[in-house]
Amino acid sequence: MAGEHFSHIVLHNVSQREKFSTPKMGGGSRLPSRVPNREAHAQALLQRLQSSTDAARDGVNRRAETLTRAQNGFYLTIQSRPAEPLLAERLEQRKKNIELLAVKEEHGTTTATLFVPESSSQFFQKKIEDYRTKDEPRSKEPEPKGRRLVDGIGDIRLANLLDFWTDDPDQFPGDDTVADWEVWLRPVSSEYFRQAARDLGAIVGSGSLVFPEDIALFVRASPNVLAKINDSSLAISRLSSARKTADAYISTKPPDQARQIEDFLARLQPPGANPNAICLLDTGITRTHPLLIPLLADADRHAYIDDWGVDDHYGHGTEMAGICGYGDLTLAFQGNGQFPVPYVLESVKTLPPVGRNPYDLYGAITAGCVAKAELAQPQRKRVFCLAVTTDEDQGHRGRPTSWSSELDQLCLGSPLAQKDARLFCVSAGNIREPQLAHADYPQFNDLQELESPAHAWNALAIGAHTEMTQITDATLAGWIPFANNGNLCPVSRTAAWNDTWPVKPDVVMEGGNYGVDPADGLGYEVVELRLLTTSREYPQVAFSTTGDTSAATANAARLCATLQSQYADLWPETIRALAVDSAQWTNAMLAYVPANPKKKDFALLLKRFGFGVPHLERALYSAANALTLIAEDSLQPFIKTPKKSVSLNEMKLFPLPWPLEELTALGNAEAHMRVTLSYFIEPNPAESARNQHSRYPSHGLRFAVKLPDEDLTEFRKRVNKAARQNNDSPHHESDENWLLGSKLRDRGSIHSDFWRGPASDLARRGAIAVYPTSGWWKSRDHLERYNRQTRFSLVVNIQTPHNDVDIYTAIANKIAIQI
């Protein structure tokens, strides 16, 4: 970025609200093929259904004294015909209180598990009888009534405990093996479950996580006992193994030489009055180190349980505190001018000094730690730094876990107002293999998925890269750096899943490197390739070294807290957007992309590195020829009118104050534009269990940019069907001139993409639309979220190659702000 630094331009009240409906037509779910014999198919299903209901009758009668008729009933599993689709959503009948609990796809077969109340026990029998005897009244050609659903059904049976299991089927415990479970309950029956568990001697965790359609808690029991509990209560909606937590902490010997702390403290410019904060959820912080005392008040140290104490029992929290405050101290010590730190530190001890937290409480403990910090300083803005992940949830494949869902809720704050939204920087997690073979890098990283809770949609997930490659130690002759300059940190995990789930990690930051011993080709820690930080052992040991995704997460929290201090009034969604908007891929990362790449070639970069490495200066400032516009706004994605289903409601149109003359004068010179859209979703993990990947979020938002040869009317018609009249169609159907394109960028709850082209074309693209897509606020209308507003942040960055072209002043003059 060249030239003088200016603050970004924040736009106010520039958007126009208009009614919206999606212009997309056609598509939809694949339909099952016709069965050879309608009568035989129906009779077979009716027989299987009758056998199942007969087998369920004893249990229904036995529970009649403890459960109401609406709560009593049975679980039914409906399986598709081999290699045929099952329209599972149509199995759920809310008016009949029939609940779709889980959908699984294995080996070309789809299995849906449902709760059927006693009062609706005849529903599916009538459905199949109608299919057998009636035709669709509006079909152009003869078609059995309900064919699209019933033709897809291959089998019907009572559900067993394994049907609720969402992990690897091979990992399901033996019948009498006592195991730790993460049990998801139907809220209406949760108390029946707890009572039955007590009666049968199962151990139930004291805490629980509450979501819109789920309650998650920890249970220790054998499958046989758990099945008896569920037979009494009919409460379970799904099961998984309990997720054990792990620290992922690196501890190495401190550097041999201690530096002069007093010289640095003389240059330190501590925060002023009423500062923002970085709140570390970690092992506590020991405050004896003179570098931490100016940033950390004793009153700002807390513990989830007071008896744990607030000092650091392990060392990791104090190491992270040094990185959060100063970054790599090796770099901080090299300067000679003032070193400002515009925020303070807070600490909430999240891990106990002895043993480990109960598996079931990790989400609840995170929420409790957040409350501790916020109750102590309710007016203070803060960024949360969470470098604690779990290493025993491999196999989530991007699907939400109870911990990641709780983190999404914490980021959102109140879904009614979002005034208490929070920004979390969370570690992607480290590869824990004791020996890393250099020959397997980085393909081995591609197979190691992010640990929970880093795949939370709303959190800023941080992976690690490195620019530390110099090995000068004479005793390490012949050693080489594990990763080359700008590449992935050797232990950083990646998004080892398909493109259904969000881009993760969001960004990568410095996490240090490893050295490769030529004798065995394995990677080892080398002091020179680690980050220098504060030690809890002060004064006996002044400094420690650290690295990996923990250090990267602390670096990211530092960047975000600096942004928040510079732009105190901006939302957490906006700070997240600025961090992503400032990120770029390094040359080492881009080397994985072939010459003349297609959009799909960038998928590998997104999985390994997210959007790249954020740059603080670019995130903080605009320049005369590199301008960032920020708009914070809200819209109501959905609406429900009387006697109609929930539908899409509105979009926002942003006619931007564009530097038309300045860009036009540049003609065919290449100009750059980047658009980043950030918002927080309300999670509903029940939707992911029903295999509705796109409906875990409450809603989605997307952006579209005006094409050079469109006027505003044509642009509105292209993106908004409601803007069209008399069935007219737009001249342009799509905008393909983007680096990533919608298929790669439209995942998760932050979307960022790059445009490059002639400046004269960019001059005529000064309008952006933000519009809604579906989510569970729309599909789960019985939860009555359809009338809620959602906030969003839109960041638009434009840049010209000529330093002498002042597009900043041109826009500032248009909106009458003082530079």
For the segment 274-286, the average pLDDT, to the nearest whole number, is 96
pLDDT tens-place string over residues 756-767: 999 999 999 999
Cβ neighbours of 474 (radius 10 Å): 6
| DSSP conformational letter for 29 | P
**pLDDT higher for 88 or 285?**
285
Give the residue from 345, 347, 348, 341 showing the smallest Cα distance to 278.
Answer: 345
Q: How far apart are CA 513 and CA 527, in angstroms?
A: 9
pLDDT tens-place string over residues 137-159: 877 778 889 898 999 999 999 99
What band does 103 get if pLDDT is binned at 50, 70 and 90?
confident
Task: Report strand pairing: 153-158 vs 73-80.
Answer: antiparallel
Which range, of 355-359, 432-436, 768-772, averages the lowest pLDDT? 355-359
pLDDT at 253 over 60: no
Amino acid symbol at 16: Q
pLDDT tens-place string over residues 422-440: 999 999 999 988 899 999 9
What band does 415 get if pLDDT is binned at 50, 70 and 90?
low
pLDDT tens-place string over residues 504-552: 999 999 999 999 999 999 999 999 899 999 999 988 888 899 999 999 9
C-alpha to C-alpha distances, 555 to 243, 281, 286, 464, nearest whole angstrom: 27, 15, 20, 10
* Highest-confidence segment of 29-33, 413-417, 626-630: 626-630
pLDDT tens-place string over residues 235-251: 898 888 765 432 222 23
Which range, of 257-261, 282-286, 582-586, averages the lowest pLDDT? 257-261
Domain assignments of the chain as residue spans, ordered by start: 6-27+623-815, 38-151, 169-241, 261-609
For the segment 748-772, the average pLDDT, to the nearest whole number, is 94
The pTM score is: 0.84
pLDDT at 585 over 90: yes
pLDDT over 90 for what percent of the chain? 58
For the segment 368-395, the average pLDDT, to the nearest whole number, is 88
What band does 359 get if pLDDT is binned at 50, 70 and 90?
low
Q: How far apart are CA 637 and CA 624, in angstroms?
A: 36
pLDDT at 256 over 80: no
Which range, of 260-274, 294-308, 566-580, averages the lowest pLDDT? 260-274
To which CATH superfamily is domain 261-609 assigned? Peptidase S8/S53 domain (3.40.50.200)
pLDDT at 803 over 80: no
For the segment 405-409, the average pLDDT, to the nearest whole number, is 94
Q: How far apart are CA 217 and CA 240, in angstroms?
A: 11
Rounded to the nearest integer, the mean pLDDT of the chain is 88
Give 320-352 as a DSSP string: HHHHHHHS-HHHHTT--S-EE--EEEEEEE-S-
pLDDT tens-place string over residues 700-733: 999 999 999 898 999 999 998 888 877 666 655 5
**CATH number among 3.20.20.70, 3.40.50.970, 3.30.70.80, 3.40.50.300, domain 169-241:** 3.30.70.80
**pLDDT higher for 203 or 694?**
203
pLDDT tens-place string over residues 451-503: 989 999 999 999 999 999 988 788 999 999 999 999 999 999 999 776 778 99
Q: Residue 733: its pLDDT value, please?
A: 58
Q: Residue 27: its pLDDT value, please?
A: 45
Q: Residue 522: its pLDDT value, please?
A: 96
What band does 357 get if pLDDT is binned at 50, 70 and 90?
confident
Cβ neighbours of 780 (radius 10 Å): 22
Q: Residue 1: its pLDDT value, please?
A: 47
Q: Residue 250: its pLDDT value, please?
A: 26
